[in-house]
Amino acid sequence: MLPLEGSDSDHPKVGKPEAFLRTAANERDPAFSPDGRWIAYSSDDSGAFEIYVRPFPGPGSKSRVSIAGGRLPIWSRSGRELAYQTLDDRIMMTAYTVNGDSFAPGKPRVWSDQRIVNSSAAGQTNMDLSPDGKRFAVLLPAHSTGVQSSPGEVTFLLNFFDELRRRAPVGK
């Protein structure tokens, strides 16, 4: 953890770094809950990567969220859900409840059977959850889309209505 000191939010001063968690396991992919009280992360403490949640900044024990492997947790901003990518590249969603200082995950459910690109080796996430919690933006493997494209190609269409007006003017 790197504390920020001082009252000037435009020019914060950096305090002394402190370890948040020290274990023999490999912990990675940290994600703060929307209220900042919890941190979700993946750890190989059990022998395979699983998703855990613990209070932030602590103290407190961890709660295991995933049941068959997981990485890259993402908190829903609209409700009490936590998403993550399985080790076989599907998206899972888990509801949870908080009672005081207690975090209780529900049973994980498959959000989509569609496999997504595995980008964890690069240390990056390849998905994000929309603010309303109803849609994901993901990278799909090129072979699963039915569209021929070069590897790593991403297309973004910005200013859709401006482009539509340019290509199909009102008077034509």
CB 79 within 8 A of CB 133: yes
CB 25 within 8 A of CB 43: yes
How confident is the model over 109-165, as pLDDT tens digits?
Answer: 998 888 887 766 656 777 888 888 888 888 777 665 555 545 556 667 777 788 788
- pLDDT number for residue 33: 94
- pLDDT number for residue 57: 85
How confident is the model over 66-100, as pLDDT tens digits?
Answer: 999 999 999 998 779 999 999 888 889 999 999 88
Amino acid at 133: G
- pLDDT number for residue 130: 84
108 or 143: which leads in pLDDT: 108
- pLDDT number for residue 21: 84
Residue 76's contacts (CB-CB under 8 Å, 6 or more residues apart) are 34, 82, 83, 129, 133
Both tokens assigned to 71: 């990485």
CA–CA separation, 5 vs 18, rounded Å? 14
DSSP string of 63-126, one letter each residue: EE--SS--EEEEE-SSSSEEEEE-TTS-EEEEEEEEETTEEEE---EEEE-S-----GGGT---
Both tokens assigned to 102: 């207690």
- pLDDT number for residue 65: 96
**Given a cut of 80, is residue 31 above it in pLDDT?**
yes
- Give exposure, 16-53, as e/b (b: 16+ Cβ within 10 Å): eeeeeeeeeeebebebebeeeebbbbbbebeeebbbbb
Beta bridge partners of 55: 38
- For 4, the 3-state DSSP assignment is strand
Angle at 123 between CA 71 and CA 79, to 5 degrees: 45
171 or 46: which leads in pLDDT: 46
- For 167, the 3-state DSSP assignment is helix
All structural domains of the chain with their residue ranges: 4-138
